[in-house]
Amino acid sequence: MTEIRSVGVIGAGQMGNGIAHVAALAGLSVALLDVKAEALEKALATVARNMDRQVAKGGLSGADKDAALGRIRTGTEMSLFSDCDIVIEAATEKEELKLSLFRSVCPVLKPAAILASNTSSIPITRLAAATDRPERVIGMHFMNPVPVMKLVEIIRGIATSDETFEAVAALAATLGKTTAVAQDYPAFIVNRILVPMINEAVQALQEGVGDVRSIDAAMRLGANHPMGPLQLGDFIGLDTCLAIMRVLHEGMGDSKYRPSPLLVKYVEAGWLGRKAGRGFYDYSQDPPKPTR
């Protein structure tokens, strides 16, 4: 079985910097890539700040924090990954982008390197078919925020080898994660169940079944969810929720996965949730105020 000691990460956003964070803390060498140098600077600052929180809580020593940060190198060129045992793609949830990245990174990888995608919905088999190593392509779907959430979904494509699967399962254990193995169907396990619930909450809002506060309070207090579905949609990103619903609708061919028209309108308006400052809540105010 391939032993993974060096990890490449494509994309320095929220998911990418979280994956870099946990890999570096686990003692692995990390190469973090983004097309924008300023995104890399922001990512390193975020990782340092999140590690400082762990130090303040007593879960991490200052020396371990410094050592972990020292294991992360950054760059804007794919050649950064030439010595990596695995490269994990954590770019925006757009299939054409992911396919383009896979095609671009393959020529610089060593022959035995594994290529993983953090996609939350796109079929792994389809992504793997665009590479020169479909047997070494796998889904490794981390939950947000990565340093806090314990789960990683592992998704095998139709060509994924046993050796690749075992190596990635071992990597997840090294990162301190619990794994759930999902079949390669649209949106896998977590988002197959979670995002349609969020979409249904948006549809209930559109139909006037309840307002934003009532819908979220009902699910927090009535179903013991840590946050309401509309608040959760804002946290995930409404553009990501819409992308997942579209993958489900197209892939399953079932009308129950039709994206809510109101969800589409919010995304068209640029009201994408917390990252945009406005979604189903307005985050310019404290506490955030419902926008509908």
Q: pLDDT tens across 111-162, in order?
A: 999 999 999 999 999 999 999 999 999 999 999 999 999 999 999 999 999 9
Is residue 135 annotated as a catalytic residue, yes or no? no
pLDDT in the model for residue 3: 86
Q: Which two tokens stand for residue 145?
A: 């925020």
Residues in the chain with pLDDT values less than 70 = 1
pLDDT in the model for residue 117: 98
What is the β-pairing status of strands 114-117 and 137-142?
parallel
What is the β-pairing status of strands 86-89 and 6-10?
parallel
pLDDT in the model for residue 1: 60
Exactly one of 117, 141, 199, 260 is catalytic; which is it?
141
Q: What is the pTM of this model?
A: 0.90
**How deeply is 123 buried, as exposed, middle or buried, from its count of CB atoms within 10 A (0-12, 13-18, 19+)?**
buried
Tell me the CB-side half-sphere exposure of residue 5, using CA atoms within 13 A: 2
Is residue 118 annotated as a catalytic residue, yes or no? no
| Alpha carbons 153 and 71: distance in angstroms, whole number | 25
Is residue 141 annotated as a catalytic residue, yes or no? yes
What is the β-pairing status of strands 178-182 and 6-10?
unpaired
Exactly one of 17, 118, 191, 260 is catalytic; which is it?
191
Domains located in the chain, CATH noted: 6-182 (3.40.50.720), 191-282 (1.10.1040.10)
pLDDT in the model for residue 247: 93
Exactly one of 93, 117, 153, 199 is catalytic; which is it?
153
Exactly one of 17, 117, 118, 120 is catalytic; which is it?
120
pLDDT digits (tens, 9 = 90+) for 247-261: 999 999 999 999 999
